Amino acid sequence: SQTAGRRSFSDAASPQRLQQLTGAPFSSSDDPFAGLPTSLPELFTLVGEPEPAEARSALHQADEASRRALETLDGSAPWRVVPLLLAGLRAVRQAEAVTPPSAPRARQLLQVKSTQFERAIVAALALTVSALAGPSEGDGRPVTPGEVVSVQLTVSHGSPAPLEVERVSLVPHEGWPAPAPLAAFTLTTGSPWRSTLRVAIPAIAEPTRPAFVRDGLAENQYRWRSGRPMYAPNAPDPLRVRATIRIGDDRIQVERAVRMRQTHEPDGVTFPRVVVVPPVSLRVLPAVRVVRDTGRVAMQVSVEVTGNAPGVEAVVGMARVRGAPLSPTQTLRVALGERRTLSFDVLMPRDADSLALSAFARVGEREWRDEVTTISHRDLEPAYLYAAPVSRVRRIPVAMRDGRSVGYIMGVGDLVPDAIAQLGARVTLLDATAVAAGDFARFDALVIGTRAYAVRPELPGATPAILAYARNGGHVVVLYQTQEFRPETMAPFPAALPNDAEETTEEDAPVQLLAPTHPVLRAPNRITARDFDGWIEQRGSKFLTQLAPEYAALVETHDTGQAPQQGIWVTARVGKGDWTYIALALHRQVPYAVPGAYRILANLLSRPKRP
C-alpha cells in the first residue's frame, strides 16, 4: 500500500498492542494464541463446525506424521521422509472424505492441508514439472487467438528410486478443447522426460484480462469482470500442465502454469506465465483534444496499431463510442512488434460540445477494441493493462495568450504537457542538462511537473536559477509536490510542506475563491466556482502551510469534517515576475478534458513576462 514499509529509527522500545474483543480471556498475556485450538486435531473446534467421529483419529495420524517427518528430515536425503508424508496425506484425505458439505470451513482447511502435504512430497522428491510455450531454442511470447503454439514439456526428479508417471496432460482454459494426454512412463533419476505438444489457441479465446475492472477514474471502485468475486491475484492461467504421479498405492498431482522464456540483457532470463493477448493493440492520438473554435471543426485523429502476432492483417476504423463508424476503414498488415500509424478525418458538428471517438480493428471474424500496455519489472510477473482506445474531443470556452513558449520539467509522468500543447503553446521538455544549465529566459513560463522534486535530483541545485528566472520577469509554476520539495529553501519566501500535508479527496468538495480579483483569476479567463464542476477523483494534495505574508492564497477547499485549507493554490510576486504553487489535481483532470482545469492552466501560462 502507499507509504508502507517505513521504518522507525527510535532507540526506545516500540510496543505493539493487541486488544481482545471476544472469547475467553487469554491464559497468558504474552501469547495471544494461548488457549486457542490451533493444532491440526482441533481443526473442527477452531472453525466451530461439527466433527465427524472418524475425523479426529485421522487428523491425529496426520499431525504425528508431519512431526516425525520434521524430526527425521535429512537435508542430504530428503526423499527418506516421503513415506511419512504419504501417511499424513492419506490421513488428511480420509478426514476430508468423511467431512460433510455442512462443514465448509473445515473442508476448505483440509483441502489446504492436503495440498501442503503434496507440495512437501514434491519438494522431498526434487520433482519438477515444467511447460514452456514457444520454440525449443529462444524466447517465447504471449499467444493470440487462432494461432498454434508449441509447448515444451519436461518432468524430472532427484530421488534414487524410479517414479511412475501415469499421465501428463495440458489443462486448457475452460471451454477450450483439451489435447489428448500423453502415455504413462517411468521416470529415473538423472534422465528427464521431455516431449513437445502442439496446442491450437481457439479463435474464440478471450485475452487474459485482470479479474477486476473499472471504466475510468470517475468510478471509485473496481468491479469483478465476471460478476462474481475472484479472490486470486491473477486471472486464471489459459494453459496449465498436470502430471499424475503414482508412488506405491498413492497418487499425487502436480500442476503448473505454462510459462514462456524471456531474455532480458543484462539481467538474465525470466519465465513469466503465458497469457493470451489480442492480435493487435490500438492507441488513439491525441487521447484528448481541446476545441476552442465554434461551429463545425474538421480534424485528424491518428490510430497507432501494434502487432502482437506475425503478419496480422487488420481492417482499422474510427467510430463514435457506442456509435457507427465515422469515416471509411483502412486495411493494413502489421508484423509482430511493429507499430504503424493511420490517420482518419473526423468532423465535429456545429452543435456538439463533446465527441468520444473509439478505434476498432477487425482481424478475421473478430473485432477488437483494446489498448494493451505491458508493465514490466525485473522481479515481478509482467502485468497487461487493458483500456479502451478512446479519444475525447471537447469544446471548451478557453482563451489563451498566443505564442506562448513553456519549459516543462517532467516529474513522475503526467499528461500536462499534452494539455499545454492542446491550448496552443509550444512545450519544451527539459532534461537534466537543460535544468542544470538554468537557461530559462527564453520561456514565458516554467512549469515544474507533478512530484518532480522526488525524481529529478538536479532540481534542488537549480533553485538559484529558477528563482532568478522569476525575479527577472518569468512565471514559475510548481505543480503538487511531496516532501522532497522543501519550500523553506526552494521557494522564494518561507512556507512549509509538512510530512502529514493535507489533501482534499472529495472531488466535489466546495471551493471558495479567496481573491476573485487577483489577475491570475481574471485573465484571460474569468475563473469562478463553476470551473470546479465535474472534477474527477480529488481536488488536490500536499498543501502548503505557514505561508509568509508575501503569498496570496487564491482558493479554499475542504473535505467533509476537514478544516478549511488555503495552501492549495498560492502565488507571490518575486521581483519582476511571479512564483506559484498549485496543488490542485490538474494532472488528474486534463486526461478527461475537465473544462475548468484547462481554463486554470491557460491563466497560469498566459501571465505576461514583466519587463
What is the residue-wise DSSP string for 175-209?
A: TSPPPPPBPPEEEBTTB-EEEEEEEEPPTTPPP--
Please say whether the beta carbons of 165 and 244 come within 8 A.
yes
- Average confidence (pLDDT) over 508-537: 95
- Rounded CA-CA distance 142/133 in Å is 9
CA pair distance 82, 18, nearest whole angstrom: 40
Confidence (pLDDT) at 123? 96
* pLDDT, greater one: 494 or 177: 494
The grid coordinates listed for 321 are: 463510442
pLDDT value of residue 28: 65
Paired with 318 in beta bridges are 359
Amino acid identity, position 281: S
Q: What is the DSSP string of 514-566?
A: S-TTSHHHHSSS---GGGGTT--S-SEE---BS--TT-EE-EEE--TTPPPB-
The C-alpha cell 503454439 sits at 149
Look at residue 6 in the predicted model and tell me its pLDDT: 62
Query: Which single residue is written with the C-alpha cell 466433527?
Result: 51
The stretches of 129-249 forming alpha helices (DSSP H) are none
**pLDDT on residue 177:** 87
Name which of 558, 508, 560 is nearest 536 in CA terms: 508
Average pLDDT over residues 268-275: 92
Instruction: Kindly report, residue by residue over 9-67, the tens digit of the pLDDT.
Output: 677 777 777 777 877 776 666 777 777 778 899 999 989 999 998 999 999 999 999 99
Measured between alpha carbons, how far apart are the two ends of the chain, in Å? 49
Instruction: Quote the percentage of the chain above a pLDDT of 70.
Output: 95
Rounded Cα gap, residues 386 and 379, in angstroms? 22
500, pLDDT greater than 70: yes
Q: Highest mean pLDDT range out of 37-46, 284-293, 332-341?
A: 332-341
Establish whether the linkage from the previous residue to 524 is cis, with ω within 30° of 0. Answer: yes
- Cβ contact 200:215 at 8 Å: no
* DSSP assignment of 351-404: T-SEEEEEEEEEETTEEE--EEEEE--TTS--EEEEE--EEEEEE------TT-
Task: Report the chain's mean pLDDT, rounded to a whole number.
Answer: 91
In whole angstroms, give the CA distance from residue 548 to residue 306.
Answer: 52
* Higher-confidence position of 5 and 400: 400
Residue 7: pLDDT above 80?
no
Q: Which residues contact 550 (CB under 8 A, 6 or more apart)?
A: 492, 493, 572, 573
pLDDT digits (tens, 9 = 90+) for 203-256: 999 999 888 888 776 677 888 877 666 677 778 899 999 999 999 899 999 999
Residue type present at position 175: G
pLDDT of 321 over the 90 cut: no
3-state secondary structure of 117: helix
